[in-house]
């Protein structure tokens, strides 16, 4: 690591886990934060520019690749790209058919988007931990956290979007009265409305929180282990980093699959009535 000569181990870890934050600072006005303390002073409305940049870039790559494959699709001998895209689409389609109780094009498209987008964001965890941050520093950018799913704001934003879809789907299929009735009358009837509402509300709110924290926790832990390995002597790093990277590929795919599957299941549950 190029910065290891001037940084302590704790400073190195803190640098690699700090987002490039832009916001309104009480003293400096609109500016980039120089450290976690300034980022904290910017408050809730500050933006993690690196997380936004990489998430949007990877999402754009996903759209471009799949659009290109669709434009070049043919009924004859398929190209390698068409085979790859069709394999992913078929895998997601089978997952939707297994978890959702009826055919729904919107849910299938949503599941495909979630799986591929989350997978690509997770995949950034396999980029050497020093490569992009050091490149950013050479360009004058102080911080660069390149794995969007290690930012709880990203995972929580995605899960809250799913949560809003759950509410919308539930109200659309049951009506507003039916939705409120499920929150207040289940499971113990009208004589226990406050207790029913507490149980159902906690279960409802737990869905987006668990979605966000599961993805964030697994990827953040994986990134932290890569950073700790990078602190070891150079001759030890390959011995640990290569096996961990191979194992982490399973985590990357599995977490994308879990986020997709739980989204399908939650939307399916939202359409069902007691």
Sequence-distant (6+) residues with CB within 8 A of 250 are none
Question: What is the C-alpha to C-alpha distance for residues 267 and 254, in angstroms, rounded to an integer?
Answer: 20
CA dihedral of 206, 209, 212, 216, whole degrees rounded to 10: -110
Asked about 210 being catalytic, the answer comes back as yes
Sequence-distant (6+) residues with CB within 8 A of 78 are 86
Sequence-distant (6+) residues with CB within 8 A of 4 are 12, 231
Among residues 28, 210, 268, 273, the one annotated as catalytic is 210
47 SS3 class? strand
Among residues 72, 218, 241, 268, the one annotated as catalytic is 218
Among residues 214, 241, 268, 273, the one annotated as catalytic is 214
Asked if residues 12 and 231 have their Cβ atoms less than 8 Å apart, the reply is yes
Phi, psi for 110 (deg, rounded to 5): -65, -45
**Mind telling me the catalytic residues?**
210, 214, 218
């Amino acid at each position: 690591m190029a910065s290891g000569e001037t940084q302590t181990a704790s400073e190195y870890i803190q640098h690699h886990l700090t987002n490039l934050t832009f916001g309104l600072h009480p003293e400096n006005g609109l500016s980039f934060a120089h450290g976690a303390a300034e980022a904290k002073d910017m408050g809730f409305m500050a933006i993690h520019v690196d997380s936004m940049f990489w998430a949007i870039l990877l999402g754009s790559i996903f759209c471009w690749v799949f659009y290109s494959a669709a434009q070049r699709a043919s009924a004859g001998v398929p190209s390698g790209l068409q085979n790859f895209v069709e394999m992913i689409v078929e895998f997601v389609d089978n997952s939707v058919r297994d978890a959702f109780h009826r055919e729904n094009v919107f849910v299938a498209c949503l599941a495909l988007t979630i799986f591929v987008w989350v997978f690509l964001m997770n995949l950034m965890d396999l980029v050497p931990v020093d490569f992009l941050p050091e490149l950013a520093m050479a360009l004058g950018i102080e911080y660069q956290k390149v794995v969007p799913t290690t930012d709880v704001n990203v995972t929580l934003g995605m899960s809250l979007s799913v949560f809003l879809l759950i509410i919308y789907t539930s109200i659309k299929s049951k009506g507003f009265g039916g939705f409120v009735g499920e929150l207040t009358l289940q499971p113990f009837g009208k004589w226990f409305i406050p207790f029913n509402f507490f149980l159902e509300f906690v279960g409802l709110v737990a869905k987006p929180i668990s979605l966000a924290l599961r993805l964030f926790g697994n990827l953040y832990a994986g990134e932290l282990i890569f950073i700790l390995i990078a602190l070891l002597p150079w001759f030890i790093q390959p011995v640990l980093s290569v096996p961990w990277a191979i194992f982490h590929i399973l985590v990357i795919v599995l977490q994308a699959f879990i986020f997709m599957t739980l989204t399908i299941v939650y939307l399916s549950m939202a359409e069902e009535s007691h």
